[in-house]
Structure 1
Amino acid sequence: MSAVNTDAQVRPREIVEAVRRLEAGELVGLPTETVYGLAADAENPEAVAKIYAAKGRPADHPVIVHVHRLADLGHWAAEVPETARQLAAAFWPGPLTLILPRKPGVAQACAGGQDTIGLRCPSHPVAQAVLAIFKGGQGGLAAPSANRFGRISPTTAAHVQAELGHDLLVLDGGACAVGIESTIVDCTVQPPRILRPGLLQAADLAAVLGVSAEALQRPADDAPRVAGALPAHYAPRTALLLRTREQIHADLAQANDTRRIGVLARHALEDGISATWMQLPDDPAGYAQRLYAALRELDQAGLDQIWVEALPPTQPWLALRDRLSRAARGSGAPGN
């Protein structure tokens, strides 16, 4: 996955200042390749509580701990199965979160009341620079998306500050290269199973583990709770509807429809149609990288509804269908 302006204007002194604040129990906006995170010392319960308060996050909703590429996973996990080591060797640093049995007494504030922990090694150079010196490279940062709980994830520093305020130090690492959250894999069972899809595909994971993609995608009703898995999530305040291309064009052709409609599509605006139209790339990686920024722009445009063109029912688009279906359920809720 290609980098997208990931080496923006972060200077060494800003890295040092961010680490100082994190080690003092403060919050920092941190760029990763997926989305921007609201970071705090994962082993400081008071600092992690500040994340939950700032986001309005439910107490039983766990947060992922981000670690340096040379970190000792045994510090966090009571056990690191061979399958987890294989996946980490193949895909870290990168957009993959591993769910492991949590070592008793470690990062309890991040666990949402469970005996598991989610670990990720981000590939963004700014995140790695912070993690390299935070607690001598062996610390972990709780860093859920830097937005109000359930809302659209931020993919630029400006998104974070617009939502959480300018008093928060946000390291500007440019636009996120991936643009949607990591694939989450439960390694507390064998073979592992995918609990949240991401752009890292089941087939890629399966090839490393020597199992079928279907085995990794089996039902997981008894699985640990993980970030971003609630039915309503990633949502704009404007009502969002998923519609076919044909439905979009048929309804916009009605001359007596006075609604202000925004459309997110994979094809260009056609003649004779009046709408706020945004075209995203017709490939999963390009679409993902621009999705949340596009949703934020439409959400701020004073529209009555946002119509999103339905995505292909194929594996490469699975994670994006997941995000949009949750966004549709959570959109337009009273009081948001």
Structure 2
Amino acid sequence: MTTTYDCTVDDQRAQGLEHAQRAISEKRCVVFPTDTVYGIAADAFSPQAVTMLLVSKGRSRTMPPPVLIPRINALDGLATDVSADARKLAEAFWPGGLTLILHAQPSLDWDLGETKGTVALRMPADDIAQELLTLTGPLAVSSANRTGHAPAQTAAAAREQLADSVEVYLEGGFRPAEGEAAVASTIVDATGPRLRVVRNGAISLDQLREHVPGVLGLGEIPMAEEEPAADAPADAVPAAGAPADAVPAAEEPAGAVPVAEERVGDVSAAAGSSAVAPAPGGSPARDEAAPDQGQAAQGQAAPDQGQRP
């Protein structure tokens, strides 16, 4: 039976978190607030649960959700070949509105969709989200809305779209604050030799470059790639090799991610699905949450104006 809990009331918050933990263990979906928008979550290690999440949103396996984590030390358990630069950004902006696309640990028994071996991770800066993630562990999260619709900024708004496909709704008030526009997480592809932004969002390029000066902005091409071939006209437009800058305004959470998706968790999230177009390194874009307006976590970024959490 679908139940909404008012998490601004202590006893309902405790009951809601307990019910949400139980629902996740039973491979069902829950909705909860993140620091971007509301996200719909499922057990990241259950293909059945992830499928239910995608069906609830009305999206396919080609738009996998991002994964939200409770602690930064979960990074190495879920991803491999994490570069020093990617680690610097995680340490600087987690918890917060940054989603990192990384190579997934090949030994993990999960199926998030068509991720091409990558995973989009985010650690959300929200107390309710953190409490739930601490109880459940990593969650596949996307923005709590039907694909193509605006991301939900309250649990009540999420329920209007997702109805009984979700067992537990945790209401925590507006995310972000009432009257503020939903902003997806910034998504950075960290699978190649250079970090590159594949979706603009909560963390600006200038902020990223304060910690990693070499981060490429959305659509930027490294100098070596900018130089036209000797026999090419000076005004030739680079084709192959140019970065994918057609990343939809994202969907958050969650994320996310996907988020899509931070924009829950976070994963992310601008406006639309977090389906991020594949970057030159071949890594898919993510949906983020952390959630959908676009904000999530993995081959994410589908045009769904969603926002990753």
TM-score, structure 1 as length reference = 0.61
Give the CA deviation at 1:73. Answer: 1.2
Within 5 A, what are the aligned runs for 1:61-100?
Answer: 61-100=63-102
C-alpha distance 13-224 of structure 1, shift in aligned 2 (>3 A): farther
Match of 2:158 among 152, 157, 160: 160
Letter of the aligned partner of 2:217 in structure 1? Answer: L
Within 5 A, what are the aligned runs for 1:1-336?
Answer: 8-9=8-9, 11-106=13-108, 108-134=110-136, 139-165=137-163, 168-177=167-176, 179-211=182-214, 215-219=216-220, 229-230=247-248
Give the CA deviation at 1:209. Answer: 0.8
1:291-324 superposed Cα distances (whole Å, 9 cap, x missing partner): 98xxxxxxxxxxxxxxxxxxxxxxxxxxxxx96x
C-alpha distance 224-47 of structure 1, shift in aligned 2 (>3 A): farther
Give the CA deviation at 1:78. Answer: 1.9
Give the structure 2 partner of residue 297 of structure 1: none
Distance 2:121 2:81 in 1: 13
C-alpha distance 161-73 of structure 1, shift in aligned 2 (>3 A): same
Q: What is the SS of the residue equivalent to 1:144? A: strand
Distance 1:133 1:90 in 2: 25
1:80-129 superposed Cα distances (whole Å, 9 cap, x missing partner): 11111101110000011000011114364224241110000001100000
Q: What is the SS of the residue equivalent to 2:171? A: coil
Give the CA deviation at 1:194. Answer: 0.6
C-alpha distance 59-151 of structure 1, shift in aligned 2 (>3 A): same
Give the CA deviation at 1:31. Answer: 0.8
Distance 2:55 2:243 in 1: 23
Distance 2:52 2:243 in 1: 23
Give the structure 1 partner of residue 230 of structure 2: none
Q: What is the SS of the residue equivalent to 1:216? A: coil
Q: Which has the larger radius of gyration?
A: 1
Distance 2:135 2:304 in 1: 38
Q: How many residues were matched structurally?
A: 229
| Contact persistence 1:206–1:216 (CA under 8 A) | no
Higher helix share: 1
Give the CA deviation at 1:232. Answer: 9.8
Q: What is the SS of the residue equivalent to 2:172? A: coil
Distance 1:191 1:171 in 2: 39
Distance 1:126 1:224 in 2: 37
Q: What is the SS of the residue equivalent to 1:130? A: helix
Greater RCO, CA 8 A, separation 6+: 2
Give the CA deviation at 1:229. Answer: 3.8
C-alpha distance 172-187 of structure 1, shift in aligned 2 (>3 A): same
Give the CA deviation at 1:55. Answer: 0.9
Is there any run of 5+ residues in structure 2 with no aligned partner, and where? 1-5, 222-239, 253-269, 272-292, 295-302
Q: What is the SS of the residue equivalent to 2:59? A: coil
C-alpha distance 196-111 of structure 1, shift in aligned 2 (>3 A): farther
| Contact persistence 1:42–1:107 (CA under 8 A) | no
Q: What is the SS of the residue equivalent to 2:79? A: coil
TM-score, structure 2 as length reference = 0.66
Distance 1:233 1:118 in 2: 13
Letter of the aligned partner of 1:175 in structure 2? Answer: F
Letter of the aligned partner of 2:196 in structure 1? Answer: R
Give the CA deviation at 1:44. Answer: 0.7
1:176-206 superposed Cα distances (whole Å, 9 cap, x missing partner): 1272221100011232111111021000001
Distance 1:148 1:202 in 2: 30
Letter of the aligned partner of 1:123 in structure 2? Answer: A
Percent identity of paired positions between Structure 1 and Structure 2: 33
C-alpha distance 46-78 of structure 1, shift in aligned 2 (>3 A): same
Give the CA deviation at 1:13. Answer: 2.1
Distance 2:120 2:37 in 1: 16
Is there any run of 5+ residues in structure 1 with no aligned partner, and where? 1-5, 235-290, 293-321, 324-328, 332-336
| Contact persistence 1:77–1:101 (CA under 8 A) | yes
Give the alignment's Cα RMSD to 1 decimal.
3.2
